[in-house]
């Protein structure tokens, strides 16, 4: 996959959809293209968050540790971003991500990501919008869950 | 060798006379002797002109004169003839006398040569002696002296300020005697001709002698100021260099600029004043010298008119006076030089005079190893004050028994550190004393304290040398072997010894083996490494050094094993990677294949540049390389590729500020080059390839050399291009011109590449770009393999070649401190004093190193006493005994358990 294809992929990620293609190209160029075989770990729960990943091809599982071993809580498909929470909040990873099939991803380093946010407010606003959106979904889910009790 | 004087001689004349009186008398004698042919050569022209040329004595044709007749009128005996001489006619006499003249010219020249050489050598030896004496004193200054001197000032005194002394020393005594003699002779001659005219000359001379030096006093004052300001300048420049970090961090570079400019202004003013005065004095001096003939003409003329003096006498007096100003002027110049030198010397001596100089016997050379220190170390009513007079330790008495491990803990103030420094003799007692048994510790020679005790603190100094040299520095007490020299080297060594002695320098051989192996528990170079490895493991530094080793290129004259077993190593790595299913991590170099993970440049060259001709940017511009690309049909392709890369890079990066961190990702060009490429691109766009100049082409083509497809993903690499590149590679080596043979080392699976790093040699390939954790995994696999093949030690040794840089600044603070602790451990002392030695490390690492050090120090049944000033009271739990200081007083002393059971400060600190 070439740089220009990656830009196309990034455009399909909601977080980046409103960002100019030239900026996305820079983001893609300064990110590392990484590949994993099925079963390889992208990062582990509890690790320090140093990068976010955009899945280009393949699938990955999101796993959370529990007393009875890791539980799969979600699945990642191409065009999705993962790991951005930990680099925004300076916190450690809240889940483990494992490749479920041969996986290609773009690894966006934390300092690059933050630098881009600082330099391109439109991107920051977009990220805020997505996060706020998620928060309202989560809140709605919480209300549903409470009222279902 | 005569030892240096306890106090430096304040008078330069006496200093010179003390050390060179024999030589000064000898040269004086030679000078006097040289006068004989000198005066003879004055007399000879008269003989030649009067005799053979004008024909006096040859009036008759065929007349002859005796030549070289030796006859003297001796008292009582009358004329005695020793040799009747050769009878020569007029022409023969002319030739003979002319030849004698030539002979005298040669003799005079030889005398001059000998005298100048002798004086020069005398001066240089004295200079060497003074410089050595100064440095010797630096080595003996008491510790507090170094708190108030700047190293650059001391260096400039030793190097520059005593330099002019060398030129003066040869003339110090000869010149005044010689010139004084000449002046006196001329004076005497004038007085003999006419007493009164003589008196006139004498009065003027007396005025000169009285006035000129008085005027020069100001010159001396200015000279001293010049010296002090210049020295302060070099001190400040040294400070800027040492403190460059602080300058930038605080944005004070303009403050420094202002300071330097102000100093330079002051120096300029002083120097200009100096010139003005110098020329003023010169003017006056010349005037006085010229005024005398005026007086001769006027007063002498008047006397002649009066008839009290005849014309012949007046002419003779004026003639004789011609010989007076020359020597007088030189004499006055000599006096000026003398005063100047005296000032310079005094200035230096003042700076090198300090109270409490360490006695020479303390640092005397001792070859034999001293007996172990079996007496306890004690502080007896010890008080230590800081520079401000505050008490760091207040009448503390305690005893450290051999074999005991003691943690020193202090509350807010530095009591524990001061005690450690006192034991290390780096801080001298204000009152009370430190002692080993009954001996005052300060009176023990360094050959005992420096070998049987050792000290490390957080304030580490490393010399600009290899890690190995720094590590072994603590073992270099004395030259232990005598190096066999033969042939020219033996002559050189004899000369070295001889000259060193003549200048009062020691003749110790720096090329001897100074390493005291026994002290490290080894028997020689072959088994020292084991000890080194153990201490490096103990301070957890081995891994860092291995990393350094992997990243550096090995010196193959020293590390032959690596090169010899490289094939085995590479094979082991492949096998291992295959076994672990990691073959995909490394793409090996294969002579007939394109390596996608390497750059196009690396694929073309398929070797490591060993010289500047084919390295980096020079590659594309190299005519031979360019011709290879042309023949392979790659020139146009790579040019187009370069244009594409330039366009992409400029599109991506043109808007970013030059210091943006993204530029680290841009392998093709630096941020500063972006504008250049931007204009280049505009200029070359749409221009046919043929119309582009060689230089521009090279600028563009070079961009393609850094391209790696999987990393940059511009989609510029096709199968056809790859096979063309491999073909070009082979063509490149087939016709490699002889002048490039040494500029490149071709990758060969069976050969070690000297110009490449150890890691690159073992890998012999490139780590895949799309595996983020690959470098770390590969590295630990490489270490495993090196260990399995028994090459771990060899790699550690490569790492030890690493040059630590000025003051060790190429290492991190933590690494420096670890190295210092390793250095003191290596010595296996009886008393180990550690003063917050690992303050730069985090607590976990400090605890780990502490545990390792306690274990390593006691290996093989050794039981040194260990005194450790801890940074964290919890560390004290690992010791036999804890001593707690509060406000300079010893407040608690006991085992950690008893102190913890009590209700004192220690318990409070721990909770």
Q: Is residue B548 part of a domain?
A: no
B253 CA to centre of own chain = 27
Phi/psi of residue B277, each to 5°?
-65, -40
Domain boundary assignment for chain A: 3-148
- Do B506 and B396 lie in one domain? The reply is no
Query: Which residues does residue B71 pair with via DSSP β-bridges, in sequence order?
Result: B81
> What pLDDT, in 10s, does the model give residues B276-295?
988 888 888 888 878 888 88
DSSP letter (8 states) at residue B484: P
Is B665 within 8 Å of A30 when comparing Cβ atoms?
yes
Is the ipTM higher than 0.85? The answer is: no
Structure tokens at B663: 């530029």
Q: Which residue's structure tokens are 């490039």?
A: B740
Q: Are B760 and B728 members of one domain?
A: no
The beta-carbon neighbor of A33 closest among B653, B662, B710 is B710
The residue among B746, B781, B809 that closes a domain is B746
What confidence score (pLDDT) does residue B4 get?
43
Interface with A, mutate which of B581, B664, B671, B770 (most A CBs under 10 A): B770
Pair B11, B112 in one domain: yes
Are B766 and B903 in the same domain? Answer: no
Task: Give per-residue pLDDT as tens, A28-86.
Answer: 888 888 888 888 888 888 888 888 899 989 999 999 888 888 888 888 888 888 888 77
Instruction: Give chain B positions within 8 Å (CB) of A2.
Output: 713-715
Hey, is the C-beta of A3 within 8 angstroms of any chain B C-beta? yes
Contact A34 B772 (CB under 8 A): yes
Could A34 and B771 be called an inter-chain contact, meaning their C-beta atoms sit closer than 8 Å?
yes
Assign residue B397 the CATH number of its domain: 3.40.50.300
Nearest CA in chain A to B660: A115
Query: Tokens in use for B467?
Result: 């890690």
Q: How far apart are CA B818 and CA B535, in angstroms?
A: 10
Nearest CA in chain B to A30: B665
Same domain membership, residue B117 and residue B11: yes
Euclidean distance between CA atoms B310 and B34, whole angstroms: 36
* Residue B670 and residue B789 in one domain: no
Using CB atoms, pick whichever of B662, B713, B770 lies closest to residue A3: B713
Q: Which residues of A touch B715 (CB under 8 A)?
A: 2-4
Alpha-carbon gap: A26 to the closest alpha carbon of chain B (Å):
6
Interface membership of A89 toward B (CB under 8 Å)? no
Would you call B662 and A115 a contact, using CB atoms and an 8 Å cutoff?
yes
Domain that holds residue B771: 553-589+749-801
3-class SS at B867? strand
Question: In this predicted structure, what is the pLDDT of residue B1?
Answer: 34
B175 is a domain residue: no
Q: Do B772 and A33 touch (CB under 8 A)?
A: no
CB B595 within 8 A of CB B604: no
End-to-end alpha carbon distance in chain B: 61
Q: Break chain A down into helix, strand, coil percent, rounded to 5.
A: 45, 30, 30
Closest CA to B449 of B426, B472, B416, B431: B426
> Helix or strand or coil: residue A54?
strand
Q: Is residue B557 part of a domain?
A: yes
Parallel, antiparallel or unpaired: strands B865-869 and B391-400: unpaired
Question: For residue B148, is it within any domain?
Answer: no
* Spatial distance between the Cα atoms of B158 and B170, rounded to a whole number of angstroms: 20
Could you tell me if B879 and B406 are in contact, meaning their C-beta atoms sit under 8 angstroms apart?
A: yes
Q: Which residues of B868-888 are buried (b: 16+ CB within 10 A; e: fewer)?
A: bbbbebebbeebebbbbbbeb
Interface residues from chain B to A (CB-CB < 8 Å):
651-653, 660-662, 665, 710-715, 769-772
CA–CA–CA angle B845, B849, B855 (5° rounding):
150
Q: Is B558 helix (H, G, I), strand (E, B) or coil?
A: coil
Are B743 and B614 in contact by the 8 Å Cβ rule? The answer is yes
* pTM of the entire predicted model: 0.77
* CA B10 to chain CA mean position, Å: 28
* Predicted pLDDT at B741: 85
Q: What's the number of domains chain B is made of?
A: 6
- The single-letter DSSP state of residue B89 is -
- Average pLDDT of each block of 10 consecutive residues along chain B (911 residues)? 56 89 90 81 74 76 74 71 77 86 90 91 91 91 85 88 85 84 80 80 84 82 89 90 87 92 94 89 84 83 82 76 78 84 87 85 87 92 87 91 92 84 91 92 91 91 91 91 89 92 90 89 86 92 91 87 88 90 86 90 89 82 89 89 89 79 80 87 86 87 90 88 91 88 88 89 86 83 89 89 89 93 93 93 91 91 92 91 91 90 86 78
> B198, B183, B186: which is closest to B314 by C-alpha?
B198
Q: How many CB pairs (< 8 A) connect A and B? A: 44
Residue B762 CA to residue B784 CA, distance in Å, equals: 12
Inter-chain touch A2–B665, beta carbons under 8 Å: no
Using left for φ > 0, alpha for ψ between -120 and 50, and beta otherwise, residue B613 falls in alpha
Q: Report how far residue B866's alpha carbon sits from residue B868's, in angstroms, rounded to the nearest whole number.
A: 6
Compute CA distances A60 → A41, A75, B525, B723, B787, whole Å. 9, 6, 56, 37, 37
Is the pLDDT at A98 greater than 60, yes or no?
yes
CATH architecture of A3-148: Sandwich (2.60)
Distances (CA, A) of B161 to A113, B172, B351: 58, 18, 12
Pairwise CB contact (< 8 Å): A3 & B772: no
User: What separation in angstroms does the CA of B374 have from each of B184, B327, B617, B627, B866?
Assistant: 72, 70, 64, 77, 14
Test the B interface: residue of A30, A49, A97, A102 with most B CBs within 10 Å: A30
3-state secondary structure (DSSP) of residue B703: helix
Give the nearest chain A residue to B582 (CA atoms).
A37
Out of B801, B818, B843, a domain closes at: B801
Q: What is the mean pLDDT of chain A?
A: 85
CA gap A90, A87 in Å, rounded: 5
Measured distance CA(A135)–CA(B30) in Å, rounded? 104
Which of B597, B586, B591, B608 lies closest to B782 in space, CA to CA?
Answer: B586
Kindly report the backbone phi and psi dihedral angles of residue B775, in degrees, each rounded to the nearest multiple of 5, phi listed first. -55, -45
- Residue A149 is predicted with a pLDDT of 66
Q: Is B76 in the same domain as B115?
A: yes
**Rounded distance between C-alpha atoms, residue B566 and residue B577, angstroms:** 17
Using an 8 Å Cβ cutoff, are B536 and B545 in contact? yes
d(CA B396, CA B413): 15
Cα angle value B650/B651/B656 (rounded, 5°): 75
* Helix, strand, coil share (%) of chain B residues, nearest 5: 60, 10, 30
Burial classification of residue B743, based on how many CB atoms lie within 10 Å of its CB (0-12 exposed, 13-18 middle, 19 or more buried): buried
Q: Do B662 and A112 touch (CB under 8 A)?
A: yes
Q: Is A131 on the interface with B (CB under 8 A)?
A: no
Cβ neighbours of B662 in A, within 8 Å? 26, 30, 112, 115
B161 inside domain: no
Q: Is there a single domain that holds both residue B793 and residue B882?
A: no
Write out the two tokens for B669. Answer: 């060009």
Residue B662 and residue A32: Cβ atoms within 8 Å?
no
Task: Tell whether A30 is within 8 A of chain B (Cβ).
Answer: yes
Chain B residues with CB-CB distance to A1 below 8 A: 713
CB B565 within 8 A of CB B789: yes
């Amino acid at each position: 996959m070439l740089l220009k294809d990656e830009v196309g992929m990034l455009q399909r990620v909601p977080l980046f959809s409103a960002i100019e293609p030239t900026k996305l190209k820079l983001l893609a160029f300064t990110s590392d293209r990484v590949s994993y075989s099925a079963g390889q770990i992208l990062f582990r729960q509890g690790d320090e968050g140093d990068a976010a990943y955009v899945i280009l091809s393949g699938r990955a599982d999101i796993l959370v540790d529990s007393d009875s071993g890791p539980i799969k809580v979600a699945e990642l498909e191409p065009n999705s971003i993962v790991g951005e929470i930990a680099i925004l909040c300076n916190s450690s990873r809240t889940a483990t991500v494992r490749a479920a099939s041969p996986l290609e991803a773009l690894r966006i380093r934390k300092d690059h990501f933050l630098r881009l946010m600082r330099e391109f407010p439109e991107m920051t606003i977009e990220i805020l919008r997505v996060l706020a959106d998620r928060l309202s979904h989560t809140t709605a889910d919480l209300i549903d869950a409470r009222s279902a009790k | 060798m005569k030892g240096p004087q306890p106090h430096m001689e304040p008078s330069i004349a006496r200093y010179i006379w003390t050390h060179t009186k024999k030589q000064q008398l000898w040269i004086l004698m030679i000078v006097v002797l040289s006068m004989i042919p000198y005066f003879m050569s004055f007399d000879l022209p008269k003989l030649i002109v009067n005799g053979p040329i004008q024909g006096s004595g040859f009036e008759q044709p065929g007349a002859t004169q005796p030549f070289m007749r030796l006859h003297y009128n001796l008292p009582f005996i009358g004329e005695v003839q020793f040799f009747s001489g050769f009878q020569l006619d007029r022409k023969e006499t002319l030739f003979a006398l002319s030849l004698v003249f030539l002979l005298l010219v040669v003799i005079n020249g030889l005398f001059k040569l000998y005298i100048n050489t002798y004086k020069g050598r005398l001066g240089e030896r004295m200079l060497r002696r003074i410089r050595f004496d100064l440095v010797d004193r630096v080595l003996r200054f008491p510790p507090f002296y170094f708190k108030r001197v700047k190293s650059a000032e001391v260096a400039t005194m030793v190097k520059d300020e005593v330099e002019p002394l060398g030129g003066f020393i040869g003339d110090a005594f000869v010149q005044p005697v010689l010139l004084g003699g000449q002046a006196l002779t001329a004076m005497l001659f004038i007085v003999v001709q006419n007493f009164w005219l003589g008196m006139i000359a004498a009065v003027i001379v007396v005025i000169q002698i009285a006035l000129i030096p008085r005027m020069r006093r100001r010159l001396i004052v200015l000279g001293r100021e010049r010296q002090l300001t210049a020295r302060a300048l070099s001190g400040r420049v040294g400070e800027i260099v040492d403190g460059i970090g602080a300058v930038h961090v605080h944005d004070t570079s303009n403050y420094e600029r202002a300071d330097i400019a102000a100093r330079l202004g002051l120096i300029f003013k002083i120097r200009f004043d100096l010139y003005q005065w110098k020329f003023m004095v010169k003017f006056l001096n010349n005037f006085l010298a010229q005024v005398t003939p005026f007086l001769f003409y006027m007063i002498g003329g008047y006397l002649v008119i009066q008839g009290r003096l005849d014309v012949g006498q007046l002419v003779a007096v004026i003639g004789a006076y011609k010989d007076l100003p020359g020597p007088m002027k030189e004499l006055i110049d000599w006096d000026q030089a003398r005063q100047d030198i005296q000032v310079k010397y005094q200035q230096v001596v003042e700076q090198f005079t300090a109270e409490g100089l360490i006695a020479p016997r303390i640092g005397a050379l001792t070859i034999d190893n001293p007996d172990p220190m079996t007496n306890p170390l004690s502080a007896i009513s010890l008080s230590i004050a800081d520079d401000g007079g505050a008490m760091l330790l207040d009448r503390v008495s305690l005893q450290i028994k051999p074999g005991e491990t003691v943690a020193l803990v202090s509350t807010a103030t530095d009591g524990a550190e001061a005690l450690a420094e006192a034991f290390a003799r780096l801080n001298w007692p204000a009152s009370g004393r430190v002692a080993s048994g009954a001996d005052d510790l300060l009176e023990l020679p360094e050959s005992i304290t420096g070998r049987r005790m050792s000290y490390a603190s957080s304030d580490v100094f490393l010399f600009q040398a290899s890690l190995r040299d720094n590590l072994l520095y603590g073992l270099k007490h004395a030259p232990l072997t005598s190096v066999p020299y033969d042939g020219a080297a033996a002559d050189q060594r004899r000369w070295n010894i001889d000259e060193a002695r003549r200048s009062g320098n020691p003749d110790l051989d720096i090329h001897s083996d100074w390493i005291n192996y026994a002290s490290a528990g080894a028997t020689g170079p072959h088994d020292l490494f084991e000890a080194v490895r153990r201490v490096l493991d103990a301070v957890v530094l081995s891994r860092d050094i291995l990393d350094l080793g992997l990243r550096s290129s090995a010196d193959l004259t020293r590390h032959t094993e690596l090169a010899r077993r490289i094939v085995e190593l590479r094979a082991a790595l492949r096998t291992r990677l295959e076994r672990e299913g990691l073959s995909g991590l490394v793409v090996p170099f294969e002579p007939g294949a394109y390596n996608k993970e390497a750059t196009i440049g690396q694929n073309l060259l398929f070797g490591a540049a060993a010289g500047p001709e084919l390295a980096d940017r020079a590659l594309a511009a190299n005519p031979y390389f360019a011709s290879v690309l042309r023949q392979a049909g790659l020139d146009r392709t790579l040019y187009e590729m370069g244009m594409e890369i330039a366009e992409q890079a400029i599109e991506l990066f043109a808007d970013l500020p030059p210091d943006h961190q993204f530029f680290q990702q841009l392998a093709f060009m630096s941020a500063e080059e972006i504008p250049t490429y931007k204009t280049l691109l505009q200029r070359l766009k749409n221009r046919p390839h043929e119309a582009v100049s060689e230089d521009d082409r090279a600028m563009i083509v070079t961009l393609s050399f850094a391209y790696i497809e999987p990393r940059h993903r511009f989609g510029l690499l096709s199968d056809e291009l790859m096979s063309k590149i491999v073909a070009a590679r082979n063509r490149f080596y087939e016709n490699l011109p002889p002048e490039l043979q040494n500029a490149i080392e071709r990758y060969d699976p069976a050969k070690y590449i000297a110009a490449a790093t150890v890691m690159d040699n073992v890998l012999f390939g490139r780590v895949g770009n799309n595996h983020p954790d690959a470098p770390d995994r590969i590295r630990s696999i490489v270490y495993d393999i090196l260990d399995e093949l028994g090459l771990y030690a060899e790699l550690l040794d490569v790492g030890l070649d690493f040059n630590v840089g000025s003051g060790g600044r190429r290492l991190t603070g933590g690494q420096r401190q670890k190295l210092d602790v390793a250095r003191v451990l290596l010595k296996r002392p009886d008393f180990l004093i550690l003063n917050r030695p690992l303050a730069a490390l985090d607590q976990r690492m400090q605890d780990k190193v502490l545990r390792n050090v306690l274990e390593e120090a006691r290996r093989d049944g050794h039981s040194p006493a260990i005194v450790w000033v801890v940074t964290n009271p919890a560390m004290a739990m690992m010791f036999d005994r804890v001593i707690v200081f509060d406000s300079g007083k010893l407040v608690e002393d006991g085992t950690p358990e008893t102190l913890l059971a009590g209700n004192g400060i220690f318990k409070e600190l721990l909770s």
